[in-house]
Amino acid sequence: MTLPDPGENGGAAASVEAGVVRAVGSIGLATLTSRILGFVRDVVVARAFGAGPLTDAFFVAFRIPNLFRRLLAEGALSTAFIPVFTDYLATRPRDEFNRMLRAVAGGLLLTLCAVSAVGALLAPWLVAVMAPGFSAVPEQLRLATTLTRLMFPYLIFVGLAALAMGVLNAHRRFFTSALGPAALNVGMIAAVLLLASRLPVPVLALAVGVLVGGLGQFAIQLPEVRAAGAPLRPSAEFSHPALRRIARLLGPTVFGLAAVQLNVFVNTLLASLLPSGSISFLYYADRVVEFPLGVFGIAVASASLPVMAEQAARRDLRGLGETVNFALRLSCFVAVPASAGLWLLREPITRVLFERGRFGAEETQATAWALGFYALGLTAFAAVRIAAQAFYALGDTRTPVKAGIAAVGLNVAV
């Protein structure tokens, strides 16, 4: 999927908008597939385990490496990779791009392995901080710690998947990279169906599924990465200037995303102090609202970022403004009615999706209550993602950080 070059006149702007729409369609289709599989996964998990201490332990354990993933992998790295990769592809010889890519792969792999090892060692303290309410139930605390240690290597696989995604997006190839997360869902579904009944602690099957799915998320992109002629064999050229450039972009971006992810931490911390199952209720509600957000809101932001980065590099501020405006309008076109629909139908949606097996009417009511509040923020979630991409494309990392800190303060106050 090739996005046309932005231009000054109306015809070029229309061409850019058409290219963004086509890319959104490609990303949206892949994301829709992944989200459908994600709901199948959640239905399978809810049917097998319900909402209780076992699922609370798993969701806390999964949230810890997932938090690092959003900070170091798919979130910040994607934002830092694409401008650098695009610049090298546009202005440097191909062999120089390949050399840069191998150096980035080496530095990334070393960093991910180190973070995973340290995270596994610190798992008991991380779980205690993330879910202080577990300290009253030692068995649940031990289970969450074991699950955390098992799943931390997932960060390595998903970080490499983010690298592959950056390469493909820089080459204007979006479908396969957006389809990658579907592998995680397939891995978890297969693990529950094939392994759960055979393990002494059935919920351990979910951790195995996460690892298999993370590996699949990286592997599914490799054929197209090779087709693009991009080598991912790591090198030890840690002094390559591209690494320093990515690090400069990465630092403020991680800080900004950390402020956003702090909201997740605060929600989990507070929910761990509430009755058993509260963490699971929030998780299932978040999964529902992530469906329209991922299929369209994040798809629009992802499709627009390469155009924004190129326009910012050429100082085409008028064109960038038009791209941002178009992306916001396109996102709101779907997000506003989706938000209203989710709020009005929150209980029937939750009942149809999850109420079966050990997930009963009481769990449906609690999850629907949380979904109603998440639905009210759907349009803003989508708009913030697009606006943040525009600021990062312009090199303004402070504004998203300030907005994130303000959001954390409001979340705690409310």
User: pLDDT digit string (tens) for 393-413?
Assistant: 777 767 877 777 787 777 666
Structural contact between residues 296 and 334, judged by C-beta atoms closer than 8 angstroms: yes
More confidently predicted of 390 and 11: 390
The enclosing H or E element of 110 equals helix 94-121
Determine, yes or no, domain membership for 5: no
Determine, yes or no, domain membership for 353: yes
| Residues 194, 190: Cα–Cα separation, whole Å | 6
CA angle 187/263/363 to nearest 5° reads 60
| Residues 114, 108: Cα–Cα separation, whole Å | 10
pLDDT tens per residue, range 312-342: 777 888 888 888 999 999 888 888 999 999 9
The enclosing H or E element of 43 equals helix 10-49
Confidence check: pLDDT of 69 > 80: no
Structural contact between residues 17 and 188, judged by C-beta atoms closer than 8 angstroms: no
Give the global pTM.
Answer: 0.76
pLDDT at residue 5, rounded to an integer: 45
pLDDT at residue 281, rounded to an integer: 82
**pLDDT-above-90 percentage for the chain:** 25
Helix (H, G, I), strand (E, B) or coil at 314: coil
Write the burial class of residue 22 (CB in 10 Å: 0-12 exposed, 13-18 middle, 19+ buried).
middle
pLDDT tens per residue, range 186-235: 999 999 999 888 888 888 999 999 999 999 999 999 999 999 889 889 99
pLDDT at residue 258, rounded to an integer: 67
E-only strand ranges, 3-149: none
Confidence check: pLDDT of 182 > 60: yes
pLDDT at residue 4, rounded to an integer: 40
The enclosing H or E element of 191 equals helix 181-194
Of how many residues is the chain composed?
414
| Residues 199, 346: Cα–Cα separation, whole Å | 35
Token pair 């697009």: residue = 386
What pLDDT band is residue 1 in, cutting at 50, 70 and 90?
Answer: very low
| Residues 324, 342: Cα–Cα separation, whole Å | 26
Q: How many domains does the chain have?
A: 1
| C-alpha distances in Å from residue 101, one per residue of 68, 77, 231, 309 | 22, 13, 7, 19
Mean pLDDT is lowest, of 87-91, 271-275, 348-352, 360-364, for 271-275
pLDDT at residue 12, rounded to an integer: 59
| C-alpha distances in Å from residue 66, one per residue of 32, 83, 88, 143 | 21, 24, 30, 17
More confidently predicted of 361 and 66: 361
Give me the mean pLDDT over the 274-297 stretch: 79
Confidence check: pLDDT of 10 > 80: no
Q: What would the two tokens of residue 160 be?
A: 């490499």
Nearest to 48 by CA among 325, 294, 358, 371: 358
Which residues are within 8 A (CB) of 291 and not within 5 positions of it... i.e. 6 or more apart?
Answer: 35, 38, 39
Mean pLDDT is lowest, of 174-183, 273-282, 379-388, for 273-282
Confidence check: pLDDT of 259 > 70: no
DSSP state for residue 239 in the 8-state scheme: T
**For the chain, how many helices (H) and strands (E)?**
19, 0
Q: What would the two tokens of residue 62 be?
A: 């999964």
DSSP class per residue in 243-299: HHHHHHHHHHHHHHHHHHHHHHHHHHHHHHTSSTTHHHHHHHHHHHHHHHIIIIIIH
Mean pLDDT is lowest, of 16-25, 125-134, 163-172, 333-342, for 16-25
Helix (H, G, I), strand (E, B) or coil at 229: coil
Give me the mean pLDDT over the 352-365 stretch: 84
Q: Which long-range contacts (CB under 8 A, 24 or more apart) does 270-273 make?
A: 272/56, 272/60, 272/130, 272/131, 272/132, 272/133, 272/134, 273/132, 273/133
Give me the mean pLDDT over the 281-291 stretch: 83
Structural contact between residues 335 and 199, judged by C-beta atoms closer than 8 angstroms: no
Q: Which residues span the domain enclosing 409?
A: 10-413
Determine, yes or no, domain membership for 3: no
pLDDT at residue 3, rounded to an integer: 43
| Residues 183, 222: Cα–Cα separation, whole Å | 13
